[in-house]
Structures are given as structure tokens and as C-alpha cells.
């Protein structure tokens, strides 16, 4: 179970408190995406996303609007993903939502290319440690401003910059290696 004490993100300022349904409608899509690139397997995204909104539902009465709802939900996503990774590491098994496809129609090639690119990016992100990965995902994929990224991950702004820089270097090298490998196959 997710440790409730983990969910303390307090930054900035915001206005009124939405309902759990409103939070879901407005933030489910990016919560899903953030979870995916923070290391949650496709087959587990449903469950992880549910876990995020369970926490949202449970903690919403205590949400004091000192941060934006978006920042708050991202904070929850990062912690759920971190916990998922710890569990997945222990489990050491690959879960599949569906059996692998046996035949590929020509019309599916674009979809497959998208999947492969996504899988490659996820592999490369996998090599980052979680603190750098969170910063990279929030800044480069979720496109949050750096100030908000620092608030979500709970580090000073300067640290967030250095983490981003280190993550970029790592990703660039890993991407080039992955490209070379795939060209040799």
C-alpha cells in the first residue's frame, strides 16, 4: 500500500479545490503518460493509474491548494511509479496484457513503429536513476517549467537543473548506443 506520508507536495499557490471526478477528468491523461515514462509497464498502467486516483480520492480533503492540482497529481504519480518499480524489481517478471502478435498486416506497420520507438525510449529511460528520470520526464515529456519540476520532485531548483543536464547526457549516449545496436540487427 502506498505510504500516505509520502504525499506531501507543497508549493506555489492556487485557488479552489476540485472534486475527485474533476481531477480525474482533467489529469487522467497525463497521469497515464507520466506513469508510463516513469517505468510502469503497459500491462500495469491501468492498475497504477487507479492507484494514483485512489490516493487522489483519499487525500483530496487534505489538499490545501498550496500547490496546483497538476503539481500535486504529478507528485503522486512519481511516488506510485517509484513504488511500482520497487515491486517490479522484486517480482522480476515481465507481465503481458495480451499475447504477442504472431502476424503483422501492412496497415499495422505505422502502429508498430510507434510502439517500437516508445519501447526504445522506455528502455533508455530505464537506465537512468529515478531522481534524474523524474526530472527528465517532467521537463522533456510533460513539459513542465523547471520551477514546477523542482517542486514536484522536492529538490532545489539548482539541483533540478543539474539532474536534467546529467539525464540528457545519459539519454543521448544511451540513445546512440541503442541506435547502433538496432542498425546492426
Partner 1 sequence: MTSFNPPRIASGRANVPNSLRDALQLATTDEPTPHEFSQLAAALAPLLAAPPSLPPYPVLPNGVSESAGLGSKILGATYAKGMTYVAVAVAVAVGGYGIWRSARSGGAPVTHDIAPAPLSQPAAPPAERAGIPVEQLPLDTAPIDESVTTIAPVRPRVRVVEAPLPVPSVQESPAQVEAPKGQLSESELIELARRSVAQDPRKTLSLVQDHRRRFTGGPLSEEADFLEIESMKRLGRLEEARSLGERFRKRYPSSIHGQTVQVKPAPTP
Q: How many residues bind partner 1 (CB under 8 A)?
A: 49
43 binds partner 1 (CB under 8 A): no
Burial of 57 (0-12, 13-18, 19+ CB in 10 A): middle
Among 8, 10, 25, 108, binds partner 1 (CB under 8 A): 25
Residue 30's closest CA among 68, 2, 86, 87?
68
Among 120, 127, 154, 166, binds partner 1 (CB under 8 A): 120
Burial 77-102 (b: 16+ CB within 10 A, else e): bbbbbbbbbeebeeeeeeeeeeeeee
Rounded Cα distance, 134 and 131, in Å: 5
Among 69, 77, 128, 171, binds partner 1 (CB under 8 A): 171
Q: How far is the CB of 46 from partner 1 (least distance, A)?
A: 6
Rounded Cα distance, 104 and 72, in Å: 41
Among 53, 74, 82, 152, binds partner 1 (CB under 8 A): 53
For residues 65 and 16, the answer to whether their CB atoms sit within 8 Å is: yes
Q: Which three cell numbers stand for residue 59?
A: 487525500
Point out which span in 6-14, 49-57, 67-75, 102-110 binds partner 1 (CB under 8 A).
49-57
46 binds partner 1 (CB under 8 A): yes
Residues that bind partner 1 in the complex, under the rule CB under 8 A: 1, 19-21, 24-25, 28-30, 32-33, 36-37, 45-47, 49-51, 53-54, 57-58, 60-61, 87, 114, 117-118, 120-121, 139-143, 145-147, 157-158, 161, 164, 168, 171-172, 175-176, 179
Amino acid at each position: 500500500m502506498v505510504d500516505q506520508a509520502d504525499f506531501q507536495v507543497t508549493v506555489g499557490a492556487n485557488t479552489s479545490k476540485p472534486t475527485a471526478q474533476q481531477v480525474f477528468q482533467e489529469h487522467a491523461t497525463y497521469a497515464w503518460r507520466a506513469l508510463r515514462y516513469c517505468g510502469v509497464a503497459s500491462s500495469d498502467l491501468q492498475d497504477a493509474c487507479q492507484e494514483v486516483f485512489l490516493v487522489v480520492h483519499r487525500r483530496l480533503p487534505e489538499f490545501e491548494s498550496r500547490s496546483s492540482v497538476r503539481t500535486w497529481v504529478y507528485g503522486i504519480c512519481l511516488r506510485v511509479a517509484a513504488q511500482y518499480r520497487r515491486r517490479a524489481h522484486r517480482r522480476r517478471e515481465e507481465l503481458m496484457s495480451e499475447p504477442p502478435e504472431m502476424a503483422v498486416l501492412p496497415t499495422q506497420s505505422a502502429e508498430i513503429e510507434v510502439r517500437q520507438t516508445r519501447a526504445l525510449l522506455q528502455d533508455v529511460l530505464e537506465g537512468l536513476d529515478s531522481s534524474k528520470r523524474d526530472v527528465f520526464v517532467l521537463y522533456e515529456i510533460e513539459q513542465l517549467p523547471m520551477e514546477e519540476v523542482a517542486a514536484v520532485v522536492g529538490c532545489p531548483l539548482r539541483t533540478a537543473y543539474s539532474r536534467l543536464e546529467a539525464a540528457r547526457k545519459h539519454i543521448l549516449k544511451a540513445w546512440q548506443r541503442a541506435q547502433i545496436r538496432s542498425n546492426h540487427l
